[in-house]
Structures are given as C-alpha cells and as structure tokens.
Structure 1
Amino acid sequence: MGDIDVRFYVSILLRRLPYLVAITAVSTVLGITVALLMPRVYQSTAKILVEPPQIPAEMVQSTVPTSSLEQLQIIQQQITTRDNLIELAGKLDVYGGQEEKPSADNIVKDMRSRITFDELQMGGPTVFSVSFQADTPVLSTTVANELAALILRNSQRQRTDRADDTLQLFDDQVSRLAAELDMIEADLLKFKTANKDTLPESLEFRRTQQTSQQERLMALEREESDLRTRRSALVETYLATGQYSNAGPLTAEQQMLMDLNRALAEQLAIFSENSPNIVALRARIAALRTEQEPQDERAANKKTPSGLDLQLADVDRRLKSIEGERALITKSIADLTQSINATPATEASLNALTRNQANLQMQYNTAIAKRAEASLGKQVEVRADGGRFSLLESATPPEKPMQSRRRLIAAAGVMGGLGLGFGLVVLLEMLNRTIRRPTELVQLLQNQPLAVIPYIAAPNERRAFQLRRGATAAMLLLMVPPQSLVAIHHHASLAPSIENVASPNSLGAKQHLPISRDQL
C-alpha cells in the first residue's frame, strides 16, 4: 500500500471527472427514459381445480392412469404448439392494435413468453393456474379465460379419446382372437375326424379289444385242435372198431383198441417208426384188430356208417368256420396293433393343437375381461366420474398493472453509466504517455536525477485547458436529448411484446466520443 500514490490517482479522477459525470448522466437519462416509456403490463389468472375420482379405484379402475400433473403438462404442450398459438392470437386479435403485424415466429415466441402455468399449493386438492400478460386488462382476461376453456376441453377430450382407444384396442384383440380360435377349433375337429382310429382317448378301449381278440384267437386255436383231435379219433375209432362214438357203448376190446391208437399217435410224435415202443404198439393193435374183425362184420350187417359221415362233415364245417373267423380276428388284431402304435404320434399332434387352443382360449377370456373393464372405464370417463378438471375461478380484469422492471432498468442505466465512465477514464489514461510524476521520469532515464521541476503553465494555457474541458462536458450533456429521442423511437418500433421492449437493443448503442490528444 505504501507504493500507491493516492493523491496522484485522485488528481487523475478529478481531472477526468467531467467525462465520468457526463457519461453517467447520459446513461442515467437513457435508463430513466426507457423505464418511463415501458408500457404497463396486466396479468390475469384463471384457476383450475383437479377433482379426485368420484368412484373409488378399488371398484372401477380408470383407463386413463395419467396423473393430474402429467396430464396438465401434456395439455400445456398441446396448447403451446405453433399452430394453436397462431390460431389463438388471430381468434382473440391479440396483435390487432399494432400497425405492422409481427411475423409468425415472433407471435409464437411472444405468446409463449406471456403464458404461464403454475401449480398452486393450497394444502388440499390440486389447483393449477393459467395466466396471460397483455397491455390491457380486458385482453389479458379474455386470453386467460380462453386458455382455461381450452384446458378443460382438451382434458375431457383427451381422457375420452384415450378411453375410446383402449376400448377399440381390446375390441380388435377380441375379434382377432375369436377368428383364430374358430380356425384352430376347425383344424382340431378336422384332425380328430381324420385320425379317429388313433385318438388317445380310445387307446385303452383298443388295447382291451386287442386283448379280447387275442384271447378269442387262442380259444379258436384250442377249439380247432380239439376238433381235429376229435375227427382223428372218430376216424381211428371207426377204422379200429367199425363204430363211431355215437353208435353205442364200446366193448372192452374196442376201448382198448382206441386207447392203443391214441397212445400210438402220441408216441409217433416223439419216437420214430423203428422205435421198440412203436413196433410193440403196432403189433398189439394188429392183434386186437384181428380179434375184433368178426365182431365188426356182424355189426356191419346191422348199422351203416352214415352217422360218422355226418359227424365228420359237422367237424369240417366248424373247422372251416374257425379258419374264416381266425383270419378276421388276425386282421383285426393287426389293425388294432397298427392304430395303437400310431397313437403316440397322433397324441403329440393333438396335444399341440389342444395346447394352442387352450392358450388362445385363455387369451380370449383375458381380452373379454379387459374389454369389459375398458367399456366400464369409458362410461366412467364419459360421465367424468374418474377425475376431471373444473374451473375454480375465472380470470377477472386486473385493477393494477404488474410490478414492472422500471427501477431495475433505471438502476442499470446509472450503473452502466458509471461503468462506461470509469472505463473511458482508464482507457484515456492508458493511452496517455505523458510523464507526470518523478517516478515515471526515473523509470524512463534509468537514473536518479538531481531534481525534478514540474511543468508550470502560463495563465492563458490554464484558461484554454479549462475551456476545452468545459466544452467537452457541454457537448456530452447536449447529447442527452437526442439520445432520449432515439430511445423513444426505438421503443415505438419494438413495442409488440414486453420482451422486445425490455431487450437490451432498446437502450441504444454505445456512443464513442472523439477525443483528440490535445484535449488530454
């Protein structure tokens, strides 16, 4: 602080004080002029109440779950679109009092700056406010009420439209699922008809039927074996005894001969012809036949062999019937086996179709239920029972204008003038290379002089300098009225909107004063 020459800087400030005062005065007058010429701005506000749903959500679920704040934001974006703002300005003749109509871009920008949406905290139901600023109370009120009406109309239309869209969505889904369900049911019926013999629901029946047919086939084989044995026995008995089983009781010799023939047939199935057992049996049978021949001749005179023929014919007919029945049963068993083997593949395809049908049926039932909910939700929205916006307070013409920024603009003019004045002083001092202090002379000579004698001006030079400085200050002061006129003209040409009026361009351009080096 000891190196700072306070008296020197104070002398500079006093010497440049006329410039500082003149520039500050000009800027202050301009700021006050602009502040006084600013038009009065009136703001009207309409209040909108967000009513809660009249029907509890537990009873009827609304199809428009958007919150009130989100819904207001959506409506705000819809209202402040370019086309809507231009249409609103033209409908209410917002710029009708101006000689030259602003461009569409300026209208949109100005309208958006005038419209204000706010959420009011009232400790109870949600309340929103919509405000509009204009240069007359009537215009601000008209536009604010029109904006409130637009919000109410758009809110109701938005909720009903969304409810309609939701219901239409489920209607389309139900129609589509119904068509797909009919199609898959037709495919399922066609598949069952084409594969009726291999359906899984008849598998147990076919297996039971297969087992029954196999048992029947085995029974036929046993019966056939018995019939063939009986036929052989009849023939052998007749050949051995000359009688058949139904001719009467057999004698002991005939019974023995029949037993031996049966034993011979059984032994032939085991042993060869040269076996001792076979040879012994044949010898014994031959001996019995020799003894029996006289008795057979006597019996032949009394009975005919027609009974044997009848029994053999009956046995042959039964054997033929068994053969035909066995062929049918064999074919039936083969068909049943084939259908049983094909059942797994049929079951897999049928399960796929049934699974698709079940899925579609479940989706169809869900869509039907949701469509019923959407239909009920639409009725709730149409009746405005699911929550709505209502006008709580209409906008009224304000009695007083808004608190403008006149004081701020005037203060900005004063502060700007001071800043420009000090800036000019600093600039002039930076451009001034005159040696005014001994220290500056020492710095220039790089040596300490014996003595420094200041410049002593003559009386006429001092008076001339004072006259030049006074003339410069007078010129700066005389520039105030023209600058005021320029500000008035600039304001009149840019008055369409508050923002344009308050823009920095209306304060005029900076004035650069031509100051010669002689004046310094």
Structure 2
Amino acid sequence: MAPIKTEEGKIVASPLERLKYLKLKLISLKATLSPNHPDIKRLEKEIKALEAQVGNVDNIQEKIKELNHLKTEFADLKSRLGPKHPDVIKLAKKIKALENEMSKTNSTKTNSTKESAFIEPDNPAYINLLTQISSIDVQIKSLKQRKDEIKKKIEEYQKKLENIPLVEKTYNLLLSDYENTRRKYNELMDKLMEAKIAQELEESQRGERFVIIDPPLVPQKPVKPKRLAITFIGFVLALGAGIACLAFMEYIDHSIKSPEEVQELINIPLYISIPYIETEEEKRRQKKKQLLFILCIGLIIILALILFHFFVMPLDIFWIKLQRKISRIFI
C-alpha cells in the first residue's frame, strides 16, 4: 500500500497508523456523506482489511484528541459565523459522528469489562483515558444542565417580552389615574385655601358685604321710537334750514334789482326804466327749468316713499294707521 499524507502533512507508513488514520477519516466522511457513498464503502473495506492484518485497534486517545480539537474549532466557528452557517453545521455533524463512534466503542468496552469484571486494569494509559472520559462525561452533564437553565431563562424572558404590551397598558392607565387624582387634589387644595382665607376675613371682621338695596327697574310696556314725530320734526327742520339759507343768500347778495335801488345808489332822479325783455329762447329755457324742477321734486317724493316703505313701515299699514289716528281725532 502506498503511504498516506494526513491533513497536517505527516506521512502514515505503518499499517497500524494507517488504520488509525482511516478510522478517523471514516468518521469525518460519515458526517458529510451518506452511508452508501462509494468513498465510505471503499474506506470500510480498507479498514476491514487492515484490521484483519493488524487486529482491531482501539485508538480512543486519538479520538479524544480529535474530538477536543473539533469542539474547539466548532466553538470558534460558531462564535464567528453563527449556528446556521454551512461550515458550522458540517462540523457539528462530524462531532456527532465521532461521539457516536466513541460511544459504541465505550459500550463494547463496557460489555467486555462486565465479562471480565474480576480483572482490574493496570495499564496507565488506559486508566488515564478512562479518567478523561469520566471527566468529559461530567462536563457534558454540567453543560446539559447549564443548557437547560439557559433555556428556562430564555423562556422566562420571552414571556416577559410577550407581557410588555400589557405592562405598558397598565402603566398608562395608572399614569392617567395618577394625573386625575393629582388634578382633583390640586382643586381641593385651592378650595381649602379659599375657605381658610374667607374664614380669616370673617373672623377678623375685615370682610365687606354688598347688598342690593333697590331692584333693577324694568319697563312696564315695550317702547319704540315715534317715527311720525321724528319725520315731522325733520320736515320742519329742513324747511327752516331752507328758509334760513335763502335769507342768508339774500343778505349777502348786493346786486341791484329795482329802479328805486338805482336812484338811492346814485342820488339822481330817474326819468324812465326799461324792464328786462326775455326772448323766446329764454322763455323756453325757463319753462324747461321749471319742468325739470317739478320732475326732481316728484322723484324725490317717490324715492322718499320707497325708502319709507322698505326701511320704516309699509305704506298700506302706514295709511291704515293714519286713517285710525285721523278718525280718533275727529271722533
């Protein structure tokens, strides 16, 4: 058989070393390949041939070293890549296969030990391996217990996380009740302070009492403005204002309007006076002015009636009231 190179670069030449190496390699391949894979079948045949040549060799110490190395590498990869990384999953399968292989070996050794229980082991290497195995078993049990404790803590934290919305809702309700209670407390304190101040004023006789002696006067009947009187007064005032304006204009007018005024002005007797002779055009213009004045007066009267109808009183109602008042006067 040709010599084999290990992963570390060492050359495996003897059948015993070759058998140990192939067994470890078989465990590694079983973690990644199916049991019916051609490479696994080939290695199993080669291992059987070597076992027939050198006998069944129990390389438990090398398996333990390999297992410790794989666990160290697994912890490193898991911390760097996470538990779901393909390399981490592959390494976990490899560790599981190696542990299964070691458990089978231990069970076989246990059975053989039971059969020869009366024989005490005296090989130091074997005793050392048994001690390591027992310590590893203790570590495994401790880690399993630790794992169970961590799982319980995780479940507790998950329950707490699930209950956080309920706790927040309860907290908000309590906060709202606190604010309402505080507001009521402040109101009661304000009332208490006012009561104390009132009591002190009353005790010191410094308070003043305000008593309404006369009740407010209320009109006995509805009151409305006397529109007719207001209108009459306005008409009289307008007429008086117009007459006053005419008198003032006459007073400031210094023009000559009669022969007597001319004679008084020049102190010379007059023999004849020629009146102003209007032409036909001036007469027509004067008639137009008179007609326009009459139309303006009519429009003003109509506009006044319209305004009175809409803003003061409808004309039909005003006419009825006027008839009633006239009838009362004459009756």
Class of the TM-score when normalised by the shorter of the 2 chains: 0.3 to 0.5
**More helix, by proportion:** 2
* TM-score, length of structure 1 as denominator length: 0.23
* TM-score, length of structure 2 as denominator length: 0.34
Between Structure 1 and Structure 2, whose CA radius of gyration is higher?
A: 2
**More strand, by proportion:** 1
Higher relative contact order (Cα pairs below 8 Å, separated by 6+ residues): 1
